[in-house]
Amino acid sequence: MSIKSRWNAASRLSRILLGVLLLLALLEIFFDLFEILIGQAMLWTNDKRPKVGRLWTEEERDRTGQQQASTRIDSLRLRPTYDRYIHSFDDLVAYVTFKSGLQLTRDEFLALYRQLPGEDAGRLMEPSHLRELADSADWNSIRITRMEDRLQLLFVDSFGQPLRDAQALILTREELLGGSQLNANPLYAGRILPGPLFAEALESLPAHLQLQVINDPQKWSEWRQRLTCAAIAPVIRHNTIMVALELTEAGSTTLQEMEASELAVGYLIKAINDLNPDSRYVQPEKEENHE
């Protein structure tokens, strides 16, 4: 039987129901097409319509939050791990101890040094020596390790060859000076200087004056790495003045004493006071005047 014959044979009610169903199907298709067209029109005009209302406000908050979270995550990914934890000299000591060492590129070390507080940066390394290294095109990276009561800094070139080494005492200045063996000698009591200050003052003098304080440059080069404290006697005897150096050796300390010329010591003390006016280091007097 053909479709037309079946249609003619169907009752009136059946025809009405079938027509209604067909109309509903057509309306559904029409509304679907209408929604698609409206959606496309809104999408095309989205940037031109004013962004007002609660939905826009909530969407803007979501977008801002996502951007901030993404920026924060990217920042943490780009920021070196050590940089998140090191904000002081003590932080650096703790990090190097925990990691059994730290290796940084030239730029990373300079950035770390700049972000440390001034006093902590000075404890790590004297600014004048760092400037000398920074001016060198050979310096490539640095290795930092802990050796008992100090940090060992080894500066190397691009081939891994050492250029220079330095040491930073972990003890604070007060701990260092208070525990010095020089305190036990009445000649030096009250006149103890931190090793870095003495070294910087001595090395600021002309070479011929340096030799009149310590006459063996090779010994000084070795002593300088182990120097913790120094002191200059307050008396002049036979145109010479005693200078004492306290050095670390195998976990203990030793003292080195030498006679320095009166002239050289005068310039040395002036350099000490120029570098650190708070020291107010007094020039020695003739033995008879001192008594």
3-state SS, residue 145: strand
Boundary of a domain, candidates 78, 104, 133: 78
Highest mean pLDDT out of 52-61, 76-85, 180-189: 180-189
Residues 109 and 60 in one domain: no
pLDDT tens per residue, range 158-168: 888 988 888 78
User: Which alpha helices (H) appear in the chain, and where do they start and end?
Assistant: 3-9, 12-44, 54-78, 81-85, 89-99, 106-115, 118-124, 127-134, 173-178, 195-203, 207-211, 217-224, 262-275, 287-290
What amino acid is encoded at 254 in this protein? T
Give the helix/strand (H/E) hosting 256: strand 252-261
Same domain, 164 and 177: no
Q: Does 64 share its domain with 106?
A: no
Locus of tokens 């909530």: 58
pLDDT value for 75: 45
State pLDDT tens for residues 11-41: 666 667 777 777 777 878 877 777 787 777 7
- What does the block give as tokens for 224? 């300088």
pLDDT for the residue numbered 267: 94
| Same-domain pairing of 188 and 279 | yes
pLDDT digits (tens, 9 = 90+) for 109-139: 988 888 888 767 877 887 777 888 888 888 9
Q: CA-CA distance, 159 to 172, in Å (whole number)?
A: 35
* SS3 assignment, position 244: strand
pLDDT at 125: 81
Q: Identify the pLDDT of residue 70.
A: 52
Do 284 and 177 reside in the same domain of the chain?
yes
* Predicted TM-score (pTM) of this structure: 0.49
Same domain, yes or no: 64 and 35: yes
Inform me whether the pLDDT recorded for 259 exceeds 60: yes
- Give the model's pLDDT for residue 76: 41
CA–CA distance from 226 to each of 14, 149, 152, 268 (Å)? 109, 11, 11, 20
* Chain centroid, CA 280 distance in Å: 32
pLDDT in tens, 171-222: 665 556 666 778 888 888 888 888 888 988 999 999 999 999 999 988 898 8
pLDDT tens per residue across span 95-106: 888 888 889 989
Are 279 and 180 in the same domain?
yes
Average pLDDT (245-259) is 78
Instruction: Over range 235-243, report the average pLDDT.
Output: 90
Domain tally for the chain? 3
Residue 174 CB burial class (10 angstroms; 0-12, 13-18, ≥19): exposed
Q: How high is the mean pLDDT of the chain?
A: 79
* 109 and 177 part of one domain: no
Q: Which domain holds residue 65?
A: 3-78
